[in-house]
Chains A and B, each alone.
Chain A
């Protein structure tokens, strides 16, 4: 079941540059999307979310863009910092009675000093 896909298992970026993490989904019934950051041996930490009625949400260095026609969302981190090095998961919630989150496989971001 690959309803939420992160096709890049890893990404390496220089400190100060922009990091762009991508996520694709297949189910048009998703209506809420979230990004989480995860360090080894820790739980996922919430970063930012977006409702399907919006196409952009910004919080400090983090911006999420949603392209519903392409079923694609992306997380931009500007400027990237070494402390941003972690695994990033996108997650989605289906419209309707369900309240579970469906996670992608994650992208390992390495920010080089």
Chain B
């Protein structure tokens, strides 16, 4: 069964450092997402990406965040200067269409900022 894969599974970084979280969405999907879950809180939307551009972003997704699809398969989330409050599980998701279909999630990257 096709799946969304994320690397690394766990990333520890110093405050102020840049991190790149990587995702390989399901190959025939057209819509890509990043969500995050801070420990004990709900899963929250960060950004959606379609046709090589951001289609929607949340208030969380400020100038420190960026997304990219550098080739035909990878989808990355970059945090330029990490803060302690960026510590969370980051989930990549993809959907075959933008609406009315299920989103398939990766297993997540646990980001710990120290």
The reply to whether A32 and B100 form a contact with Cβ atoms under 8 Å apart is yes
Q: CB-CB < 8 A to B50: which residues of A?
A: 99
Would you list the 9 A-B pairs with minimal beta carbon distance, nearest first?
A: A43-B105, A99-B98, A46-B102, A100-B45, A103-B43, A105-B42, A44-B105, A43-B107, A103-B42
Q: How many residues of B contact A (CB 8 A)?
A: 29
Residue from A41, A43, A93 whose CB has the most chain B CB atoms within 10 Å:
A43
The reply to whether A41 and B48 form a contact with Cβ atoms under 8 Å apart is no
Residue from A45, A101, A106 whose CB has the most chain B CB atoms within 10 Å:
A101
Judged by a CB distance under 8 angstroms, whether B20 is at the interface is no
Nearest chain A residue, comparing its CB with the CB of B92: A43
Interface of B is mostly: strand
Interface of A is mostly: strand
Q: CB-CB < 8 A to B98: which residues of A?
A: 99
Q: CB-CB < 8 A to B75: which residues of A?
A: none
The reply to whether A99 and B42 form a contact with Cβ atoms under 8 Å apart is no
Q: How many residues of A contact B (CB 8 A)?
A: 24
Q: Tell me, in angstroms, the Cα distance from A98 to B107 when the chains sit together.
A: 24
Residue from A89, A91, A100, A101 whose CB has the most chain B CB atoms within 10 Å:
A100
Question: How many residue pairs, one in A and one in B, have C-beta atoms under 8 Å apart?
Answer: 60
A interface residues, Cβ below 8 angstroms from B:
31-32, 34, 36, 41-46, 49, 51, 89, 91, 93, 98-106
Nearest chain B residue, comparing its CB with the CB of A43: B105
B interface residues, Cβ below 8 angstroms from A:
4, 6, 31, 33, 35, 41-45, 48, 50, 55-56, 58, 91, 93, 95, 98-100, 102-108, 110
Q: CB-CB < 8 A to A106: which residues of B?
A: 42
> Known contacts A32-B99, A106-B42: does B31 contact A99 (CB below 8 Å)?
yes
Nearest chain B residue, comparing its CB with the CB of A99: B98
Residue from A44, A46, A51, A89 whose CB has the most chain B CB atoms within 10 Å:
A44
